[in-house]
């Protein structure tokens, strides 16, 4: 059945900026490939599967682009409509098409939080590596709190420590946007707890946002409470003295326990495959749970 009522706002906002260029209107050779917002795009973003199939059967080009290079596949993934994306791909949709904003269908799937679309795109050869740092799927998923997308990308080999100059790492982005569950998933997957944005660590932004949950999580995974940012400030210096966070930092100033040091050392040895490797160790479940922060 068609999903007629979902993601109307997404359609309007993207459709409003996708106006045809003067070049495309004046050049008849371009009209088959570049157009204004089309019925194909509309059906894709709203999940109208029957309408989409009808349009394709009538000979509409599945790679029809707006002036902003947005394809129907971009819109299907933006709406999180796996069935529509599947039909488009079966009829030759370009899986790695890039918009003028450097958005790929994979990026659009991370915007909507659709793991089903991510899986489908990878099955059809989608690249996990963004064509430009302006639109990184793993950063977008972390920013929006799409934990399952973060987990899916991490398990399929995305660089979870990909450091973009104007964004930082996915972990930094998750902490900056106070997405605790995404931050936890990244840390469990082996993300570098001290790698942030320039000299600003994830702990700095967690302290700045006065998030006790994030601060506790990061310190538990070995964050350096003494690290200084570009202003020579430690994370604890970014919170008001009367804040409960100030007390938390004071409690963590002492040396780590031997158990904690051992856990951090073992996890560091396993790198980005920590979860899989620790799970496979011939150890009592209690020790595995400790190593996995369960």
Q: Kindly report, residue by residue over 65-80, the tens digit of the pLDDT.
A: 999 999 999 999 999 9
Q: Which pLDDT value is given to residue 26? A: 32
Per DSSP, 235 falls in state G
SS3 at position 71: coil
Q: Which pLDDT value is given to residue 4? A: 42
Looking at the predicted structure, is the pLDDT value of residue 11 above 70? no
Cβ neighbors of 268 (< 8 A, separation 6 or more) are: none
State which H helix or E strand residue 282 sits in: none
Who has greater pLDDT, 71 or 2?
A: 71
Sign, CA dihedral 139-71-94-152, equals positive
Q: Which pLDDT value is given to residue 34? A: 44
Looking at the predicted structure, is the pLDDT value of residue 3 above 60? no
Mean pLDDT of 76-101: 97
Q: Which pLDDT value is given to residue 263? A: 80
Cβ neighbors of 13 (< 8 A, separation 6 or more) are: none
CA distance 245 to 49: 51
Q: Which pLDDT value is given to residue 16? A: 37
SS3 at position 197: strand
Per DSSP, 97 falls in state -
| 240: its two tokens | 């008001």
Looking at the predicted structure, is the pLDDT value of residue 90 above 90? yes
For the stretch 109-125, pLDDT in tens is 999 999 999 999 999 99
SS3 at position 243: coil
Assess contact for 52 and 44: CB atoms under 8 A: yes
Going by C-alpha positions, the residue among 211, 206, 141 that lies closest to residue 170 is 141
Assess contact for 75 and 105: CB atoms under 8 A: no
Looking at the predicted structure, is the pLDDT value of residue 35 above 70? no
C-alpha Rg value of the chain to the nearest Å: 23
């Amino acid at each position: 059945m068609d999903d007629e009522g979902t993601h109307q706002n997404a359609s309007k906002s993207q459709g409003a900026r996708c106006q045809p260029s003067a070049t495309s209107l004046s050049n008849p050779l371009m009209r088959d490939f570049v157009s204004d917002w089309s019925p194909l795009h509309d059906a894709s973003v709203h999940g109208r599967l029957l309408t989409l199939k009808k349009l394709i059967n009538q000979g509409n080009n599945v790679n029809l682009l707006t002036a902003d290079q947005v394809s129907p596949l971009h819109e299907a993934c933006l709406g999180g409509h796996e069935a529509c994306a599947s039909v488009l791909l079966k009829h030759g949709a370009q899986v790695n098409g890039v918009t003028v904003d450097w958005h790929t269908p994979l990026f659009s799937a991370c915007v909507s939080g659709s793991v089903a679309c991510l899986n489908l795109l990878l099955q059809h050869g989608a690249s996990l590596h963004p064509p430009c740092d302006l639109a990184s799927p793993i950063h977008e998923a972390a920013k929006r709190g799409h934990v399952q997308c973060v987990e899916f990308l991490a398990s399929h080999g995305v660089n979870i420590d990909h450091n973009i100059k104007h964004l930082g790492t996915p972990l930094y982005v998750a902490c900056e946007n106070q997405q605790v569950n995404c931050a936890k998933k990244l840390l469990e997957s082996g993300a570098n707890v001290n790698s942030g944005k320039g000299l600003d660590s994830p702990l700095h932004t967690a302290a700045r946002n006065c998030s006790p949950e994030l601060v506790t999580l990061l310190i538990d995974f070995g964050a350096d409470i003494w690290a200084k940012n570009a202003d020579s400030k430690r994370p604890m210096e970014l919170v008001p003295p009367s804040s409960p966070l100030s007390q938390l930092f004071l409690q963590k100033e002492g040396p780590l326990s031997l158990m904690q040091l051992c856990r951090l050392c073992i996890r560091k040895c396993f790198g980005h495959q920590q979860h899989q490797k620790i799970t496979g160790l011939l150890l009592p479940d209690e020790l595995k749970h400790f190593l996995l922060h369960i």
